[in-house]
Chains A and B, each alone.
Chain A
Amino acid sequence: MLQIRHLKKTYNAGTDNELKLFENLSIDFEAETTALLGPNGCGKTTLLELIAGRKEQDEGAMCLQGKDITADGERARAAYIARVHQDPSDGVAPSLSVLENLALADHKGKPFTLRKLVRKERIDFYREKLAELGLGLENKLSSLVQDLSGGQRQSLSLVMATMKEPRILLLDEHTAALDPATSQTVLEKTRELTARHRILSIMVTHEPRSALRYADRIVVLSRGSVAMDVRAETISERELLETYLHA
C-alpha cells in the first residue's frame, strides 16, 4: 500500500557533521501493524518524519495506493496520516483542556472558520473514546492537559490521532512513557483500532516482546538499511533479540 523507493537522506550535507542516514532504502508497508526496531540513532524517527512529510528526503519516491505522494507536503499528507510522537507533549496543546484538545482533533480535515469549535453533542462520543482506555480520563474533560501525567497525555494523543480514522498511523515509541499496565492497555487499544479500520500502522518500539505481541510484521533497521523483515508469528522473542542486539 505504501511504497518507499530509493530513499536517500543526509543530515548536515557538506559539513564536518555530515551523516548519511539512508543511502538507498526501499521498503513497502501494508495495511497492518509493522513494528520498527533498531538501535538508537538508526533513523526510525527520521523515517517516520519523511513519511509524514515533515522532513524532505534528498532523493527517492513514495507511493500510497499507487498514487505518487512524493511531492505532497506535510499539510497535504496530514489528510490521511496521523502521528503519535515520541515526546508526549508533541501531540497535544498543554494550555487547553482535554475537551478542547479533542475538539481540535475532531475538526481535522475540515476548514477552520469563525464557528464555535467545541460542540456539546460530541462530548458523549469523546467520553466513550476516553473511557475505552480505562485511565479515567473521561472524568477529566475539563482538566488542562498540562496538569495531566505524561502517560495520560500520550493516551490522549493516541485518541486524538485516531479520532478521524487515518489511513496511516505513525507511532513513535508511543508507549515508552507509560507504566506497564497502561502501556499494555494502550497497545491493545492501538491494535484493536488499527485492525478494525485496516489502518496502515508503523510502530517504532524498543521492546521485542511488544513488537511480537502487537505487530503483524517485524522490521529491524540498522545502518540505513533493513537488517530483518519477517512476519511476527514466524520468529521467537529470542531470535528477534539476537538480531536486534547485533543490528
Chain B
Amino acid sequence: MLSMLLISLEQGLVFAVLALGVFITYKILDFPDLSVEGSFPAGAFTFAKVVTSGGGLIAGLLASLLVGALTGLLTSTIFSRLRIRPLLSGILTLTLMYSLNLRINGKSNVPLFSTPTLFRENIVGNILLLLVIVLALKFLLDRFFRTQIGYMLLATGDNETLVSGLGEKVNRYKTIGLMLSNALVALSGAIMAQNMRFADINMGSSIIVVALASIIIGDTFLRKSKKIKGTTRAILGALIYKLIGGAALYLGLAPTDLKGINALIVIVFIAYNQFSPSAWWTRFRKNILAVPERGKMHVADSSS
C-alpha cells in the first residue's frame, strides 16, 4: 500500500511536468495541441541519445528541452504558415516525429541502466527531488505569466483582436506558447525515461489523455476557489490522477486496463464538472419524488 502510494506520487510528479506543459496550450492559448504525443518520446529519445553517447545528465535534459521546443516550433509553423487547423497541425507533427524519434537512436527501445539519471535507490529522496523540480518549474511559469510576453500569451488565448489591435503578431505568441509547452513535455518525457530506465517509441501514445485528465481533475479540485492558480491545479491534477491509476492497479486491475481507465477518468471528471449537485437534487426532488419546490405552488408542468 505504501509503496503503491510512493510510486504513484513519484510518477505523478513526472506527469506534473507534462501537465504544466499542456496547460499552456490547452488552457492558456486554447490551442488543442496533439504534437505532445511526439515531443514526449522525443524528449526521452534525445535524452537517451545524449547519455548513451557519453553526455552528462544536465546536457541530456537541456537537449530534450531544446528538441521539445523545436517540435512546438514545427507545429506552430505548420499552423501559421500553411494555415492548417490546430488539430491537424499537431497530428502532422506527431506523425512526423514518430519517424524522427526512431531515427534519433536508430531503434524503438533504448535501455538506460548504467547511464546518468536523476533517480537514486531511495524513492523518498527521488520524490523530494522531483518535488523541487516541479515547484521550481511552477514558480518560473507563474513568474513568466506576470511578464509582458506572458500577459500577451494570456491575451492571445483570450482575444486575438485585442492582440493585433495592440500592434502585435498573434502567431508570435502562439509560437512562444507552443515551444514552451512542448519543451516542458519533452522534459517530462526525458524524466520518465529515467524513471522507467528505458526510452520507448510507444511511451507517447495517448499521453495527451493523461495530460488532459490531469488538467481536468485539477480544475475539479476545489472548483469554486478562484485563489488556486492554474499551474497548481495542473500539478495537483497529475498527482490525483496517478493516485487513482495506482489504486486501480492495487485493487487488482491489469496494467493493460490502464488506458481504458485513463479515458474513463477523463469522462467521469468532465461529467462531474458539468454536474451541479444542488441543481440535480432540485430536479430529482421535483421530477422523481414530485416534491413541490419550496415557496412555490406545485403546478402540473406539461412542458417537462
Contacts and interface: CB of A to CB of B under 8 A. Distances in A.
B7 to A, nearest CB: 37
Contact of A95 (B147, B154, B166): B154
Contacts of A85: 161
A109 interface: yes
A79 B167 contact: yes
Contacts of B148: 107, 112-117
A100 interface: yes
A96 B154 contact: yes
A122 to B, nearest CB: 13
Contact of B159 (A93, A103, A112): A93
Interface of A: 54, 74-76, 78-79, 82-83, 85, 89-96, 100, 103-105, 107-109, 112-118
Given A93-B155, A93-B158, A104-B155, A114 B149 contact: yes
Contact of B162 (A74, A92, A113, A114): A92
Q: Interface size for chain B: under 10, 10 to 19, 20 to 34, or 35 or more residues?
A: 20 to 34
A156 to B, nearest CB: 11
A95 B156 CA distance: 11
Contacts of A104: 151-152, 155, 162, 166
Contacts of B85: none
Chain A contact residues: helix, strand, loop or mixed: loop
B151 A109 contact: no
Interface string B140-171: 00001011111110110111011011111100
A85 B164 CA distance: 13
Contacts of B159: 89-90, 92-94
A114 B154 contact: no
Contacts of A109: 167
29 contacts: A54-B164, A75-B167, A75-B168, A78-B164, A78-B166, A79-B167, A90-B161, A90-B162, A91-B161, A92-B162, A93-B155, A93-B162, A94-B159, A95-B158, A96-B151, A96-B154, A96-B158, A100-B151, A104-B152, A104-B162, A108-B166, A113-B147, A113-B148, A113-B149, A114-B147, A114-B149, A116-B146, A116-B148, A117-B147
